[in-house]
Amino acid sequence: MKIYKDLMNLPGVSGNENYVRQYMKKFMEQYNNFEIEYDNLGSIFAVKKSKNPNAITVMVAGHMDEVGFMVANITKNGHIKLQPLGGFMPEVIISQVLNIYTDDGKIIPGIVGSLPPHLRSQNKAQIEDFLLDIGTSSKEETLSLGVKPGQMVLFESNFAYTANNKRIISKAIDNRFGCGLALETIKKFNDIDLDVNLICGATVQEEVGLRGAKTSTKKFSPDIFIALDASPVNDLEDTSFAQLGKGFLLRLHDPRNVMHQGLMKYFVETAKKHKIDYQDFTSKGGTDAAAALDQNSGILATTIGLPARYIHSSAAMLDIYDIKQARKMLFTILSNLNNELYEKIKEGYFD
């Protein structure tokens, strides 16, 4: 799990994914049967051509950015106003320690306070009501430390195994899981000939509008797009239909992507045939697959999901077994796909 630990500990909000991209680039450079390519926003992919000149192209993508903040403004007392990058419930950040990453590589810690209720813009606290206190007494002092608007602000790294060693607690599970599995896929298939062109890596700016998926799918024009992403499960309640430790998530529906029936049948048949545990899943949020779906003349796009508790907060939880099932599913899919099977999937059935 070293790859996942390394990636989850790295800082990288939307538009500031450089630390993650550099880690992925260094890893990809070990595998010389792949060529590294980028889109103009900074999404990074390793590309391996099939020996079949007419092969279809399969694109596999995590996303590098985690939810976080940027410095929006500095008050006259030296406190920091925060701009969220990704979706947060306001109560997630109160009294949390956050780190500012300055341009020269310094990390400046602070603690989040909030205005008293009678000074808030609404009865319910909003993120714009909160201030990050880094211990300075004036705007000038804060500026003298190298702090300025636009800089990345993130929760502290907190990677840890649970006491039973079956689960992981960490920030950025969403979506360094996808980045890690993409890297494992490059390692797995570097010396294996596939019947498809494989494009494997990670996008930028998913949390603020699936932007890197749009630009990168336009660049590579895949026939099939598989997003690797973490999705929230509320399995502390009996009403939840997805749970930690029960397998990867088969994402049937979200607001922008109804799973293609041919893909659904293929995924289900493949999982059953190879004894891979999966869970049917619907979501109120989207993944990069939604952005890929309607690019060009249409791309068959879906998600191999990782169930996770408490995402879009300071720390989330995953089960290692679910990563193993997601990995097995992805590797099996890529090993079996070819042009003939792709045509069958497009027609909506699988034998």
Q: Which residues are catalytic?
A: 206
Specify whether the CB–CB gap between 139 and 150 falls below 8 A: no
Under 8 Å between Cβ of 71 and 100: yes
Q: Are 342 and 226 in contact (CB under 8 A)?
A: no
Place of tokens 């029936």: 261
CA 156, CA 265: separation in Å to the nearest integer? Answer: 42
d(CA 330, CA 340): 19
H or E segment and range at residue 189:
helix 173-189
Owner of token pair 């796009």: 301
Q: Give the burial class of 270: count Cβ atoms within 10 A of its Cβ; 0-12 exposed, 13-18 middle, 19 or more buried.
A: middle
Q: At what angle do helices 18-28 and 2-9 cross, to 10 degrees?
A: 150
CA distance 80 to 150: 11
Positive or negative, the Cα torsion across 83, 87, 90, 92? Answer: negative
Is residue 242 within 8 Å of 233, Cβ to Cβ? yes
d(CA 123, CA 126) in angstroms, rounded, equals 9
Nearest to 348 by CA among 313, 289, 300, 307: 300
Phi-psi region of 23 (alpha: psi -120 to 50; beta: other; left: phi over 0): alpha
